[in-house]
Amino acid sequence: MFLAAAVRCGAHAIVTGNARHFPPESVNPYALTFSPRMISCCDNSISTGT
């Protein structure tokens, strides 16, 4: 369901802690980037969960 929502809204990335639900063969056809951790593009002071 999350992959469908990401594709529908034109997302460029999926950021999640649950990598097993997004294998490369599921996201590659839609040109989505997968990030297995929390990241911030605007504020480097936010924890990355590591």
Domain boundaries, the chain: 1-50
pLDDT at position 22? 81
pLDDT at position 19? 76
- CA–CA separation, 33 and 31 (whole Å): 7
pLDDT at position 44? 47
Query: Whose CA is closest to 3, among 27, 25, 34?
Result: 27
pLDDT at position 41? 52
Note the pLDDT tens digit of each residue in 1-50.
788 988 899 888 888 777 788 888 888 888 887 776 655 555 444 444 54
pLDDT at position 36? 66
pLDDT at position 37? 66
